[in-house]
Amino acid sequence: MKKIIPILFVVFLIYGITNKEEIIIPEYAIRFRVIANSNSIEDQTMKIKVKNELEKELNMLMQKAKTSEEAKKIIKENIPFIRNTVDKFTKDNKVSFGKNPFPEKEYHGVTYPSGDYESLVVTLGSGVGKNWWCVMFPPLCLLEAKEENKEDVNYSFYVKEILNKYFS
């Protein structure tokens, strides 16, 4: 009996690891990324301040978009506003919208693969510091903020629900 418990534990562990349902973010999703000047405390703090300010504004703008094309149009129309917002924190920045490279990200059981994605990228200074990014459309950035303390299963469920809403 004592041997059965560890064996069952290993079986359930392997089942749990291999039975995760893969959630794939569609190619036409739009990402948002802020890259810090460096990894110094000051530069990382500035990155978070810029991210927080832009995230608030972008979430409001993205609520108007029903499709990826509408979201792209809204972003393009608001690039001057985005630049002005970033300039309030530092004039040494670059704001770009288009295809940009992204590293892989694992968040609450959802894997966001690396690759070149349609995105809004804000680079602060030389842009050699750690970055922050999320999926801006469909609006998963806001979901990430709300779900920070939730279980992986709940996060995965909400991601699937939002993807189905926008891409079904």
3-state secondary structure the chain: CCCHHHHHHHHHHHHHHHCCCCCCCCCCCEEEEEECCCCCHHHHHHHHHHHHHHHHHHHHHHCCCCCHHHHHHHHHHCHHHHHHHHHCCCCCEEEEEEEEEECCEEECCEEECCEEEEEEEEEECCCCCCEEEEEEECCHHHHHHHCCCCCHHHHHHHHHHHHHHHHC
Report the number of distinct structural domains present in the chain. Answer: 1
Please compute the mean of the pLDDT values over residues 101-120 and round it to a whole number.
82
Please compute the mean of the pLDDT values over residues 71-90 and round it to a whole number.
96
pLDDT at 13 over 60: no
Quote the mean pLDDT of the chain.
78
- Tens of pLDDT, residue by residue over 121-154, are 999 999 999 999 888 888 777 555 444 444 444 5
148 versus 28: the higher-pLDDT residue is 28
Domain of 53 in residue numbering reads as 4-167
pLDDT of 69 reads 94
pLDDT at 96 over 90: yes
